[in-house]
Amino acid sequence: MSFRVRLHSKFSALAVVTAVALLIAGCASSNSSSGSASSTQPLVIGASVSLTGDFADSGKAVQRGYQLWADTVNANGGILGRKVQLKIVDDASSPTQVVTNYQNLINKDHVDLTFGPFSTLLTIPASQVAKRYGYAFLAPAGGGPDVFAQNLDNFFFVQPAPTIKSGDVFADYILSLSKADRPKTAAYVELDDPFSAPIAENIRARFEAAGIKTVYKQVYPSETQDLSSVMAAVAAKKPDVIVGGTQSEDAYSQVKSLVQLKYNPAFMYQSNGANSPLEFPKNVGPQNTAGIFSSADWYPGSKASGSAAFTSAYIAKYGGSAQTVDDSSAEAYAVGQVLQEEAAKTGKIDNATIIKTLHSGTWPTILGNLSWSANGAPNGSFNLVQWQGGKLVPVYPPSVAQAQPVFPKPNWGG
Amino acid sequence: MHALIQGLILGVLTAGVYALMASGQTLIFGVMKVVNLAQGAMVILSAYLAYGLFTSFGVDPLLAIPVTTVAMFILGVAVQLAFLRPLHDEDRSELSLLVTFAVALLIEGFMSVTWRTTDRSINTSYANSSWSVGGYQITLVRLWAFLLSIAALGVLLLLLNRTRFGRAIRATVQNPESARLLGVESNRVSAIGFGLGTATAAAAGSIYGLLYPFNPGSHYDLISRLLSIVVLGGLGSIAGAIVGALIVSTSSAVVAATISPAWSEMTFFVILILVLLLRPQGIFGTTGRGAI
């Protein structure tokens, strides 16, 4: 569930230069790669992924997920007897290059199917290209409201819920507590970003309707590098629950500031950042993670369909441990899973069938069971995870919980 | 009220870190009339070096400062020799903007490739410690940063005012031609002066890494703030850098704690514009060439 989309404008000049260079390189090589795409044997799937530029880290994680799925499926005989062949091209995190890439994949390379790029910024123009040519567009990332506002019937966001609803599961959990256990006062500290503040605002609406008093609310711009004075203002209000609409850096800063200010709320939730099994403890210190809640779709030790196989295959191919698997890789892998199940169900693998079939039914993936509305928005909800004993554990809803949620939050460093 | 006072404490302590970075910036301008846009990138590079020394060898980031200081000094001298010396005197100030920005991008690219773009923090056992004094929290790292900055600035001032080399620098600042006529090797002074300025980035980097998560792109926000501090205090004035850092840091902390972080930058820029309207050379700046 990484949705880092803050595009530093200073980077964009660099991105343009890279894009132009790529374009030239693309033109130069296109002569040599024309010709025999008419063979029906392999199933060619094209995707543009950010291998360079702002989204490079996440883009590479997406690439790993796609590749791992293709390897797995090919080892088991392919889809409907056809070997999967991936054609992955780099878009340098540029919304113009991504358009060129999908146009080339569809018109020049004549790929059979397309998978999505990373980030809302790139998914929007890319999904429009796919729509123009009647391609189904399964995207592992890019769940911002603008994507669904396009109302494209060929688009499917392969995550449990639209991004801004990812925090709803925390509200569900808090409101499931008895009146005596529920927090009475709440503070909301939100990053001014379409993927952060709205998540916290959705929670605030639910909490206020249930009578949880808002004692503090603040939105900070993304360039706020020192959050200590904001958190000092939060601590002065002594809220029972702190809801952070966060990305990554700011999530770490919130925690570090609260530790320094020695304020420990009974409940603490962060929409993003705290759900990174590797980065979060590294940045805030493992001893300060205990009891913090966050949202996740895939997490280490998930019991969802195929997750154990995915985890061991990932470690076998890329090394590391379950804790180091990037959730973007899991989301990309799930894209392939959906396709595989569609083929198994209908016995056909073409864009029209995919678009028609995926709009109904539920589809089990390593992210849980997915289903979609007409505009490609998923109907499910994220899982509530909590840091317990130095690990990220699913605690809500009960159907996926592997441990009881712990409250009140243990003290910092404890 | 509680939040206001806590904000004030945080602001004053954080000012030390900025004063340290800005003093290097202003020194470089004073000596060479070069605006070093790579100063922020060098701070972040130092933070990465301290991070690397801490995670690989367990070296405490504060104890790593002498090592990183030497590294940044050498880097500064190298940058001056390779990129700045070839510039002509008459358009050095203008061209130096482009050259040092290119250096900043080079450093950023190097950091992205070496340490990737994920956020890093230096987490020592004391990174988040604080003392409670009358219900307010004084964070340990910030206090040390403050003291360290005062010490480093003290060393810098001693060097400038009490040594032969310092005299040579000041002479070069005041009148480069006369200094040269009197036997000051202005090329050497410029190279070492630039190195000294970038060396202040080392201590600032260790502190920055202890205080905040950082990534290769962090230097953009840093450099804009540094430039503002230096302009506010007066280009070329170390006392001005300290006062500028105090104004920037406390105003943004207090406004963030009491009104909104969205207004904190704004407030500071209003102060900056007012100062520039009333005193275009900055608080401590002089219109002619003058003392550092």
Write down the pLDDT at residue B286.
Answer: 66
Measured N-to-C along each axis, helices B2-32 and B164-174 cross at an angle, to the nearest 10 degrees, of 80
Assess whether pLDDT exceeds 50 at residue B145.
yes
Contact A233/B at CB under 8 A? yes
What's the rounded mean pLDDT across residues A107-116? 95
B291 found inside a domain: no
Coil vs helix vs strand at A133: coil
Judging contacts by C-beta atoms under 8 Å, the chain A residues touching residue B116 are 57
Q: Is the pLDDT of residue A323 over 90?
A: no
Helix (H) or strand (E) run with residue B238 in it: helix B238-258
Mean pLDDT over A121-131 rounds to 94
Instruction: Kindly report each contact of residues A7-14 with a partner whose C-beta sits within 8 Å and lies 24 or more positions away, as own/partner.
Output: A7/A54, A7/A93, A7/A121, A8/A54, A8/B217, A8/B220, A10/B217, A10/B220, A11/A53, A11/A54, A11/A93, A11/B217, A14/A53, A14/B105
Is A344 or A29 the better-scoring residue by pLDDT?
A: A344
Mutation site, A226, A259, A261, A262, interface B, largest B CB count within 10 A: A226
**Cis ω before B213 (30° cut-off from 0):** no
Asked if residue B291 has pLDDT above 70, the reply is no
According to the model, what pLDDT value does residue A24 have? 47
Contact B225, B120 (CB under 8 A): no
Is residue B105 situated within a structural domain? yes
Disruptive mutation site among A228, A259, A270 for chain B (greatest number of B CBs within 10 Å)? A228
Closest CA relative to residue A186, chosen from A205, A199, A173, A164: A205
Instruction: Give the nearest chain B residue to A288 (CA atoms).
Output: B128
Structure tokens at B40: 């922020």
Per-residue model confidence as pLDDT tens digits over B59-111: 999 999 999 999 999 999 999 999 988 888 778 878 889 999 999 999 999 99
In the prediction, which pLDDT does A296 show? 94
Q: β-strand A383-388 against A391-396: which pairing, if any?
A: antiparallel
pLDDT score, position A339: 95
On the CB side of B193, how many CA atoms lie within 13 Å of its CA?
31
Of the partner residues A11, A233, A260, the one whose CB lies closest to the CB of residue B128: A260
CA distance A336 to A319: 21
- pLDDT computed for residue B92 by the predictor: 80
What confidence tens digit (pLDDT) does each residue in A54-82 have? 788 889 999 999 999 999 999 999 999 99
Q: Kindly report the CATH number assigned to the domain that includes residue B37.
A: 1.10.3470
Band (pLDDT 50/70/90 cuts) for residue B280 is: confident
B134 touching A (Cβ < 8 Å): no
Q: For residue B39, what pLDDT is reported?
A: 94
pLDDT at A31 over 50: no
Does residue B153 surpass a pLDDT of 90? no
CB–CB contact A261 B6 (8 Å): yes
Whole-number Å distance between alpha carbons of B225 and B18: 9
CB-based contact A188:A212 (threshold 8 Å)? no
Q: Which domain holds residue B9?
A: 2-116+131-278
Task: For residue range B32-62, list pLDDT tens digits in order.
Answer: 788 899 999 999 999 999 999 999 999 999 9
Domains of chain A: 12-20+36-164+305-370 (3.40.50.2300), 165-300+382-396 (3.40.50.2300)
Question: In chain A, pLDDT over 90 holds for what percent of residues?
Answer: 76
Q: Is the pLDDT of residue B130 over 70?
A: yes
Residue B117: which of A56, A232, A262 has the nearest Cβ?
A56
pLDDT at residue A1 greater than cutoff 70? no
Distances from the Cα of A52 to the Cα of A8, A22, B35, B142, angstroms: 14, 11, 30, 36
Q: Which of B140, B121, B118 is nearest to B131 (CA)?
A: B140
Cβ–Cβ gap B7/A288 under 8 Å: no
Which of A274-278, A365-369, B119-123, B133-137 is modeled with the greatest confidence?
A365-369
Over residues A301-306, mean pLDDT:
90
Cβ of A8: how many Cβ atoms within 10 Å? 14
What's the mean pLDDT in A317-325?
A: 90
Q: Which two tokens stand for residue B283?
A: 């608080």
Q: What is the ipTM of this complex?
A: 0.85
Query: What secondary structure letter does DSSP report for A372?
Result: B
Q: What percent of chain A has pLDDT over 70?
A: 90
* Mean pLDDT to the nearest integer, A185-212: 94
Cα distance between residue A217 and residue A241, in whole Å: 12
Q: Do A228 and B253 touch (CB under 8 A)?
A: yes
Label residue B288 by pLDDT band (50, 70, 90).
Answer: low
A217: contact with B, CB 8 A cutoff: no
* Unique residue bearing structure tokens 């170390």: B238
B243 occurs within a structural domain = yes
A10 and B CB contact within 8 Å: yes
Structurally, how many domains does chain B consist of?
1
Does B100 lie at the interface with A, CB-CB under 8 angstroms? no
pLDDT value for A297? 93
Residue in A54, A248, A253 nearest the CB of B212: A253
Among A225, A227, A285, whose Cβ lies nearest the Cβ of B123?
A285
**pLDDT, average across residues B8-26:** 88
Res A40: pLDDT: 61
For A144-185, how does the pLDDT look when each residue is reduced to its tens digit (9 = 90+)? Answer: 888 999 999 999 999 999 999 999 999 999 999 999 999 999
Identify the weakest region by mean pLDDT among A349-353, B134-138, B216-220.
B134-138
Q: Is residue B259 part of a domain?
A: yes
Between residues A31 and A212, the one the model is more confident about: A212
Q: Rounded CA gap, B139 and A257, in Å?
A: 9
CB neighbours of residue A96 within 10 Å: 16
How far is residue B53's CA from residue B218's CA, in Å, rounded to a whole number? 20
Give chain B's largest Cα–Cα span.
Answer: 60
**Residue at B292 is within a domain:** no
Instruction: Using pLDDT thresholds of 50, 70 and 90, give the confidence band for residue B292.
Output: low
Q: Is residue B290 part of a domain?
A: no
> Rounded to whole angstroms, how far apart are CA atoms A99 and A106?
11
For residue B143, give the H/E element and its range.
helix B140-162
Q: Which residues of A touch B44 (CB under 8 A)?
A: none
**Does B158 reside within a domain?**
yes
Whether residue B122 is contained in a domain is answered as no
